[in-house]
Amino acid sequence: MSDTTTSSPRPGILVVEDEAKTRASLAEGLGLQGWEVVTAATGDDGAACLERRHFDLVVLDWMLPGRSGLEVLAQLRRRDGHVPVLMLTARDAVEDRVAGLDKGADDYLTKPFALAELVARCHALLRRATVFPAAILACEDLRLDVRARQARRDGLEMALTPREVDVLEYLLRYQGQVVTREMLQREVWKQTNRFTSLDNVIDVQMARLRRKVDDGAAHKLIHTLRGLGYRLGQGPLV
Ligand code: CA
pLDDT tens digits for 203-224? 999 999 999 999 988 889 999 9
* 44-66 residue pLDDT tens: 999 999 988 888 999 999 999 98
This prediction's pTM: 0.55
Sign of the CA dihedral with 59 first, then 61, 65, and 66 last: positive
Q: Which residue has the higher pLDDT, 10 or 196?
A: 10
Distance CA 12, CA 36 (A): 5
CB atoms within 10 A of CB 141: 16
CA dihedral 112, 113, 115, 121 (to 10 degrees): -140
* pLDDT of res. 180: 92
CATH of domain 136-232: 1.10.10.10
- Confidence bin at 76 (pLDDT 50/70/90): confident
* pLDDT of res. 75: 87
- CA 99 to centroid of ligand 1, rounded, Å: 17
- CA 25 to centroid of ligand 1, rounded, Å: 14
Is the Cβ–Cβ distance between 62 and 89 less than 8 Å?
Answer: yes
Query: Among 134-138, 191-195, 212-216, which range has the highest average pLDDT?
Result: 212-216
Task: Tell me phi and psi for residue 172, to 5 degrees.
Answer: -65, -40
Distance CA 42, CA 35 (A): 21
- CA 88 to centroid of ligand 1, rounded, Å: 8
Helix (H, G, I), strand (E, B) or coil at 60: strand
Q: What is the largest CA-CA distance in the chain?
A: 70
Mean pLDDT lowest for which of 30-39, 59-68, 187-196?
187-196
- CA 40 to centroid of ligand 1, rounded, Å: 12
| Position 69, amino acid | G
- CA 112 to centroid of ligand 1, rounded, Å: 11
Residue 3 has pLDDT above 50, yes or no: no
The mean pLDDT value for 132-161 works out to 86
Q: Say if residue 109 is exposed, middle or buried (CB neighbours under 10 Å; 0-12, 13-18, 19+).
A: middle
Q: Tell me: domain 2-129, CATH 3.40.50.2300, correct?
A: yes
* pLDDT of res. 80: 65
Residue 38 has pLDDT above 90, yes or no: yes
Mean pLDDT lowest for which of 55-64, 127-136, 173-182, 189-198?
127-136
* pLDDT of res. 8: 40
- CA 10 to centroid of ligand 1, rounded, Å: 27
The structural domains of the chain, with segments of one domain joined by +, span 2-129, 136-232
Q: Which residue has the higher pLDDT, 197 or 179?
A: 179
Cα 89 → chain centroid:
24
